């Protein structure tokens, strides 16, 4: 069954369809703009550091050792390290220092 429109009805119908297309394009563009900011950010990057292997060295405290006093020693890898004598330690005692 065919449907006939007057010139005014046809013009109104075409205008309505054009407006619907414009609205659809507008909403699609708005959706795209909402998605763009999220895609503009780079993905978070994480750097996982390998745990540093803790090393220890056993030392004998010198004759003038006292709690709170600081001393330096040379680690096997050549670095100069320091430590503080803890409470309860004194001259001639063995101490394990972690570095």
**pLDDT of 87:** 95
pTM for this prediction: 0.47
Please name which of 85, 82, 83 lies closest in space to residue 67, comparing C-alpha atoms: 85
Write out pLDDT tens, residues 39-73. Answer: 556 667 777 777 878 888 999 999 999 999 999 99
Residue 74 contacts residue 59 (beta carbons within 8 Å): no
End-to-end CA distance of the chain: 92
Residue 31 reports pLDDT greater than 80: no
Separation of alpha carbons 58 and 51, rounded Å = 22
Q: What three-state secondary structure class fits 32?
A: helix
């Amino acid at each position: 069954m065919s449907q006939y429109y007057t010139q005014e009805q046809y013009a109104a119908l075409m205008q309505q369809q054009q407006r619907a297309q414009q609205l659809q394009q507008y909403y699609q563009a708005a959706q795209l703009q909402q998605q763009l900011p999220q895609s503009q950010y780079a993905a978070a990057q994480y750097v996982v550091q390998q745990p540093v292997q803790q090393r220890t060295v056993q030392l004998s405290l010198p004759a003038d050792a006292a709690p709170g006093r600081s001393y330096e020693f040379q680690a096997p890898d050549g670095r100069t390290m320091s430590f503080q004598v803890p409470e309860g330690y004194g001259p001639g005692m063995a101490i394990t220092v972690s570095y």
